[in-house]
Structure 1
Amino acid sequence: MKKLKVSLAVQIFIGLILGIIIGAVYYGNPSVSTYLQPIADIFMHSIKMIVLPIVISSIIAGIAGVGDLKKIGKLGFKTILYFEVVTTIAIILGLLFGNIFQPGAGVDMAHLSKTDISSYVETTKHVEEHSFMDTFVNIIPTNIFNAFVQGDMLAVVFFSVLFGMGVAAIGERGKPVLSFFQGVAETMFWVTNQIMKLAPFGVFALIGITVSKFGLSSLIPLGKFALLVYASMIFLVVGVFGLICKIAKIKLIPLLRLVKDELLLAYSTASSETVLPKVMQKLESYGCPKGITSFVLPTGYTFNLDGATLYQALASLFIAQMYGIHLSIPEQISLMLVLMLTSKGIAAVPGTSFVVLLATLGSVGIPVEGLAFIAGIDRILEMARTAVNLTGNCLATVFIAKWEGQFDEEKANSYIDSIKKSKVA
């Protein structure tokens, strides 16, 4: 008898549905968190445990393979340029959707429940003082071990690139070091595959906790805003990302199929960190060189948050409209410029989008108290933001690989064919 094989995506989806059911049935019952939180923590801790070793070893092995300082400098410039252009388009798109559909107009604040946002205020003080130049200064860590402990991805990427260049520069003497880090990367990918087997349980627990706390009914008063956020995210993927794919001759649907398990997991957990190791592995198998994948993808986690920047622009207008504040074109341009600065380099901060909004709204005269009205449904919206952020970074990696003329089309096609054959079998 042939053994029934259930794919990871199906397992995660089953976990998602069961989590929603349990959360809805036990809505308002604090014991749900008591039982499910340890399961969620075990999964999230397991993922966080492997992220840094994979990023460090992959970057060092990839960069040491490139070995050319000019090539690395050119790669960095192209990557940052691409990120800045696409995130700016995402902000403009959020402003357009907000102006056209007016989601905050006519909202009765008396019927909206408020959520405490005081936990974000302390972090916001740091972000308000955070300038664009600070982002680049903070890339260079004063203590690399401290950067490892804090999970400062930009500092880790910078050090790993520099270390990889050093390994390449010393030639034959660097080969044992290169072999060591190649071995570490391959070992950690094996560990990743084992940890991913916990994903359905982690998703079940995280969704169950979320729904039991806020309930599905919390979406109803802010339904128009939530639907518009999701619609704008879909438009960003289909319209903007689709256009980028057409320009670069990238097949969007096969790319989405390639990372569908990771997209579903990122959506369910509202964390793109959970899938970083697996996505790196898949993009390399898809035809992106290790040196490009290991540099572009982790850097994108800080510089290329397309879904988050779109949401921040849309949420800013929603709150302004809710309070009856009309923002002129110059004020909206000012809002766009502030978001371009505040959304960079703080991806490691908990509740990033909320922190950025708290730091931004006051600067353009929008009451920050308005965030308390949408905090209750933020988890549902964060799920969409995370999935779009991940999609944007996967596309960025393939785009940069093509721009550098290093994308392996043959490898991509053979990888897609192998997946199709495995499904048939």
Structure 2
Amino acid sequence: MAKKLTRFILFALVLGIIAGWAINSAIDDGTPTAAAQLKDIAGYFSIVTALFLRLIKMIIAPLVFSTLVVGIAHMGDVATLGRVGLRSLGWFIFASLISLSLGLVLVNLLQPGVGIGLPLPDVTAASGLDKAAFNLKDFISHLVPASVIDAMAKNEILPIVIFSLFFGVAITALGERARPLVRGIEALVQVMLQVTDYVMRVAPFAVFAAVASAIVEQGPSVLFSLGRFVGSFYFGLALLWGILIGIAFLAQGRRARDLLRYIRDPIVLAFSTASSEAAYPRTLEALERFGVPPRIASFVLPLGYSFNLDGSMMYMTFASIFIAQAYGIDLSIGQEITMLLVLMITSKGMAGVPRASLVVIAATLSMFRIPEAGLLLILAVDHFLDMGRSATNVVGNAVAAVLVAGWEGELDPERPIDVEPPHAPSHMPPLAPGTEPGA
């Protein structure tokens, strides 16, 4: 099923490019009427993508809650949970520094914004992004949900993760007395993964619609006008993939070479839909086939979606310096390092913010007196860049789960890619006996 789905998605991706290009070429004559017509057609295509992404959002909250709680319950004790958590966060910080630093180094070496040759937006123009959607104070206070029902209704991953951590630790403390509840949540995991299987069957249609919509409205020429910027960024993503897989290879040996083959399906899905969320359920299943214990994968992945968006973080330094270069603004090494540290902190508040990377960039530019209007330069190609960012986020979080499992000494033998993993957590270790309070 996995191989077939990947082939269907790739076919839909190519078909979407062809269809979008054909429609754009047939209608676009440079007039405002044609542009409005293309926008309307793109809107109809985007209905399919929007429905698919809503289906994904429908399953994310219960899936994250159930898999994370079951994973914590089967950790055995709070000490193991703390160790896995610290190792995960330690890697996330290290990977964040790698991603941000690589973006900073490459944009200075390649200088895609110097002599860009495009008309620059007026420095007083607004980007149209709501910078109030992100600020550090609200992010910190929002970590703890006032209502987990409200957090689930809004698909706010980080508050759901915090509640699930409390819930899972409480289950671990109660031991056998919580066993009936654990069985019920284990059953919920099975149900949600079965629902995921149904949802994924419409993924190729969503991929076709997403790509066709973008090409219909923007046309292929938009990629050529900012080709140096797009090409430089994708070159950086390729280097980042190499670094992440290289680190996994150093830690796990030749086995790490197979990781990309196992996560091929979620990578293609994330790339073609430009959504990391869409790939979450498939990434969970792929890691289980690769040998990452479900209790570790279901713990590391939700945290990774909040703290370890490697592709998005690299984009933030890359795009920020690109805009400065386009306006001829020279930043000192000290200013660039300061920007890196600021983005290191603010990037952790991206989860749940619409167009998160652009919002964080907009909030950061003003700190360094770089015109926010520069974002208008890259908005046209942001969808195509988001495709690469989303795929890289999948790779980064998969590597994180593999490394943590390896450090715990619990990486299981690989299973064939086409063999469905045993979704029922029955193969997990039982709840540790004698973990009742005071035992």
What pairs with 1:47-62 in structure 2 (closer than 5 Å)?
Answer: 47-62=56-71
Whole-Å separation in 2 of the counterparts to 1:329 and 1:218? 32
Whole-Å separation in 2 of the counterparts to 1:389 and 1:293? 15
Q: CA deviation at 1:8?
A: 0.8
1:125 to 119, 129, 132: 132
Task: Report the counterpart of residue 169 of structure 2 in structure 1.
Answer: 165
Task: Report the counterpart of residue 362 of structure 2 in structure 1.
Answer: 358
Structure 1 residues 331 and 13 mapped into 2: Cα distance closer, same or farther (>3 Å)?
same
Task: Report the counterpart of residue 28 of structure 2 in structure 1.
Answer: none
2:344 to 323, 326, 340: 340
Does structure 1 residue 94 correspond to structure 2 residue 94?
no
Whole-Å separation in 2 of the counterparts to 1:191 and 1:113? 49
1:79 to 85, 88, 106: 88
Read off the aligned partner of 2:290 and give its amino acid letter: Y
Q: CA deviation at 1:252?
A: 3.5
Q: CA deviation at 1:248?
A: 4.0
Task: Report the counterpart of residue 6 of structure 2 in structure 1.
Answer: 9
Whole-Å separation in 1 of the counterparts to 2:307 and 2:140? 11
Whole-Å separation in 2 of the counterparts to 1:270 and 1:139? 26
CA contact (8 A) 2:145 2:151 kept: yes
SS in structure 2 at match of 1:407: coil
Task: Report the counterpart of residue 233 of structure 2 in structure 1.
Answer: 229
CA contact (8 A) 2:320 2:361 kept: yes
Structure 1 residues 142 and 5 mapped into 2: Cα distance closer, same or farther (>3 Å)?
closer
CA contact (8 A) 1:23 1:32 kept: no
1:150 to 154, 175, 186: 154
What pairs with 1:318-333 in structure 2 (closer than 5 Å)?
Answer: 318-333=322-337
Whole-Å separation in 1 of the counterparts to 2:266 and 2:226? 28
Structure 1 residues 79 and 135 mapped into 2: Cα distance closer, same or farther (>3 Å)?
farther
Q: CA deviation at 1:117?
A: 6.2
Whole-Å separation in 1 of the counterparts to 2:336 and 2:46? 41
1:43 to 47, 52, 75: 52
Q: CA deviation at 1:46?
A: 1.2
Task: Report the counterpart of residue 397 of structure 2 in structure 1.
Answer: 393
Percent identity over the alignment?
37
Whole-Å separation in 2 of the counterparts to 1:31 and 1:91? 37
Whole-Å separation in 1 of the counterparts to 2:401 and 2:266? 16
Structure 1 residues 215 and 113 mapped into 2: Cα distance closer, same or farther (>3 Å)?
farther
What pairs with 1:269-284 in structure 2 (closer than 5 Å)?
Answer: 269-284=273-288
Task: Report the counterpart of residue 268 of structure 1 in structure 2.
Answer: 272
Structure 1 residues 205 and 301 mapped into 2: Cα distance closer, same or farther (>3 Å)?
same
Moved over 6 A (4+): 111-114
Structure 1 residues 277 and 335 mapped into 2: Cα distance closer, same or farther (>3 Å)?
same
Whole-Å separation in 2 of the counterparts to 1:207 and 1:82? 34
Q: Please give the per-residue CA displacement for 1:260-314, whole angstroms capped at 9, x wherever unaligned.
A: 1111110011001111112112212322122211111011111001111111111
Q: Please give the per-residue CA displacement for 1:86-105, whole angstroms capped at 9, x wherever unaligned.
A: 11111111111011111111
Task: Report the counterpart of residue 422 of structure 1 in structure 2.
Answer: none
Task: Report the counterpart of residue 202 of structure 1 in structure 2.
Answer: 206
Q: Please give the per-residue CA displacement for 1:229-255, whole angstroms capped at 9, x wherever unaligned.
A: 000000111134313432343633311
Task: Report the counterpart of residue 416 of structure 2 in structure 1.
Answer: 415
Structure 1 residues 35 and 136 mapped into 2: Cα distance closer, same or farther (>3 Å)?
closer
Whole-Å separation in 1 of the counterparts to 2:166 and 2:225? 51
Structure 1 residues 34 and 319 mapped into 2: Cα distance closer, same or farther (>3 Å)?
closer
Structure 1 residues 111 and 221 mapped into 2: Cα distance closer, same or farther (>3 Å)?
farther
Q: CA deviation at 1:174?
A: 1.0
CA contact (8 A) 1:312 1:353 kept: yes
Task: Report the counterpart of residue 246 of structure 2 in structure 1.
Answer: 242
Whole-Å separation in 2 of the counterparts to 1:330 and 1:340? 15
CA contact (8 A) 2:126 2:372 kept: no
Provide the alpha-carbon RMSD of the alignment. 2.2
The number of equivalent residue pairs is: 407
Read off the aligned partner of 1:242 and give its amino acid letter: G
1:215 to 192, 216, 219: 219
Whole-Å separation in 2 of the counterparts to 1:102 and 1:281? 40
Structure 1 residues 326 and 256 mapped into 2: Cα distance closer, same or farther (>3 Å)?
same
Q: CA deviation at 1:35?
A: 3.2
Q: Please give the per-residue CA displacement for 1:27-61, whole angstroms capped at 9, x wherever unaligned.
A: 24234234323222221111111111111111111
Structure 1 residues 240 and 292 mapped into 2: Cα distance closer, same or farther (>3 Å)?
closer
SS in structure 1 at match of 2:167: helix
Structure 1 residues 351 and 338 mapped into 2: Cα distance closer, same or farther (>3 Å)?
same
Whole-Å separation in 2 of the counterparts to 1:258 and 1:236? 19
Structure 1 residues 149 and 220 mapped into 2: Cα distance closer, same or farther (>3 Å)?
same
Read off the aligned partner of 1:392 and give its amino acid letter: G
Structure 1 residues 378 and 65 mapped into 2: Cα distance closer, same or farther (>3 Å)?
same
1:21 to 18, 23, 28: 18
Q: Which runs of 5+ in 2 are unaligned?
A: 25-34, 421-439
SS in structure 1 at match of 2:416: helix
Read off the aligned partner of 2:416 and give its amino acid letter: Y
Task: Report the counterpart of residue 321 of structure 2 in structure 1.
Answer: 317
Structure 1 residues 320 and 384 mapped into 2: Cα distance closer, same or farther (>3 Å)?
same
* More displaced stretch, 262-271 vs 63-72: 63-72
* More displaced stretch, 180-189 vs 60-69: 60-69
SS in structure 2 at match of 1:249: helix
Q: CA deviation at 1:108?
A: 2.0
Read off the aligned partner of 1:35 and give its amino acid letter: Y
Task: Report the counterpart of residue 405 of structure 1 in structure 2.
Answer: 409
CA contact (8 A) 1:86 1:306 kept: yes
Whole-Å separation in 1 of the counterparts to 2:395 and 2:68? 21
Q: CA deviation at 1:416?
A: 5.3
Q: TM-score, normalised by structure 1?
A: 0.90
Read off the aligned partner of 1:125 and give its amino acid letter: A
Whole-Å separation in 1 of the counterparts to 2:143 and 2:219? 40
Structure 1 residues 19 and 307 mapped into 2: Cα distance closer, same or farther (>3 Å)?
same
Does structure 1 residue 63 correspond to structure 2 residue 67?
no
